[in-house]
Amino acid sequence: MLFHVRMDVAVPRDLDPAERRALLAAEKARALELQRNGVWRHLWRVVGQYSNVGVFDVDSADELHEVLWNLPLFPYLTIQVTPLTEHPSALSANP
């Protein structure tokens, strides 16, 4: 199942700088792992915002929930999830 996921990040400005660096490093490592495993298929930054959009490929909404819940930045994220399905006019649907 494919899901479009938007994440708006709001890390507290008063977070200890060392803790912030460690948190962001852990998030980057996890994002790279999920991409290499084919779970986080696409990842883009939203220009001018501390936000990103991505496409996740998982077996179920429950699996996506677990993936998102376990992101290091999860406590600081506002997340919007949209399930996706193939469009009938997509090239992939009309070889």
pLDDT tens for 71-82 read: 999 999 999 999
Nearest C-alpha neighbor of 2 from the set 53, 50, 71, 47:
53
Q: What is the pLDDT of residues 5-63, one digit of tens each?
A: 999 999 999 999 999 999 999 999 999 999 999 999 999 999 999 999 999 999 999 99
Assess if CATH 3.30.70.1060 describes domain 2-87.
Answer: yes
pLDDT score of 92: 84
Picking from 79, 84, 87, 72, the residue whose alpha carbon sits closest to that of residue 5 is 79
Domain segments of the chain as ranges: 2-87
**Which has the closest alpha carbon to 15: 75, 87, 84?**
75
Q: What is the pTM of this model?
A: 0.91
